[in-house]
Structure 1
């Protein structure tokens, strides 16, 4: 078993490292426009008037109108333990219009649970019967297995995409990904890129009755801080949060990571049960999604777009 895991991981990491980095959705001198959200579609949900439906329609319209360059799917695409039929019948009905610009990560339980539901990677690669369309990253890289890390340049920004499910199902592989992340960010930093990381389960977060912070991910956070990652995106909590620029010791610092936790895609929302000092904005009464405009100098603007509720958050982080 250990030998098989080692071979699989080696293949996965080699595939990601050596995969050609095709041109991003915009030139290096241009702004990059992104939408992001996780925790999207409930069990057998396909009503256009549901919170999921409103979000899926709004983001699909942005894709159709070429108003965004990428949609970042932050995990938990389809509840509860989804298989090909569920993605095709339900997720595609409300969110299928986003797939042509979709970059995704898998979460534990709802996206990927070995032996129970392992079809998200097939769905994103157009292998599920009834939906041959591939997600944007799969159009560029081919098949990407659940848990397999990858990275992608968008203009002058470099994004690493990590599956936090590895810490649940394959902790040895998660540890190996720590080394991959270090090398990946080292290379991007040497090229003068501004750095961002996407993963499902948040580290900088308030507790809820269901989840606390993903403490096991601290090795990844240490690597992110080492390379002065400017931006992280995650989901899981069923609410919205934004941190101060924070370091790996939970301190607000000028060169820290701005951590967005955006799990307002359509699943029932959860109240907060703790109040960490590094969280600057949060709410748990609104479904919607995050829009980001990333500038070539490392500055960025954010705007939370409510689709069911009234919570808002917007601002700018300066370069430097």
Structure 2
């Protein structure tokens, strides 16, 4: 199954009481498909505030997204956690909602060995018939899925891709050693173009909420051999890639992208604690960035 080159890790819209705003969620799905040209959506990933969503909310989000997208894009359910049994159960529930794939983050906080990481993902993958995307983001999880462990997991029948927030060196090792059909996505908007250059397939993106259509043009330009065009688009997009995480200092995702959507006339509500909204200086920085 192809999830496409541009995947958006979708925010979860909230109302004034920080409950899920279902009407806005539907409009956001339409906007990302129709205007930002996303090929697939990750529901309840980090950008969707998965740490503060209940399992019941996640399952209802999966079900809603599948029904609303109605085949216009693929729906990928974020079901990973640092408890293997919990991830298995949530993955089973997700599959029952009709999602197209599963995204599994590396098990955070309890710092398993590489063998523990392998057994964690293997156990979850064996509980589902859906294609699985691994998610390696050591800045958040403390542990990193080594390239050796990733390639070992890539031999399993339904582990089909990895989302990498590691070095370009590790990406190169994975791409060069991967079996046919196993693909690599960047998890960092700022290195979309370098990832393509070392053999990566695409991007699982935050910035695509704001500049997805332009990012699709970047990818297409590179794939068509128009490298200078891709370079120019990358230079144009880079301030947004960087600014959504540094306003001008580090701001936790998805605080900035939710604020940016509101500035673009598409309010999606606030963030749940322990995240807090942007302060006035951060908001002014982001406003200036979007204006320019």
Q: TM-score, normalization: structure 2? A: 0.42
More strand by share: 1
More helix by share: 2
Q: TM-score, normalization: structure 1? A: 0.40
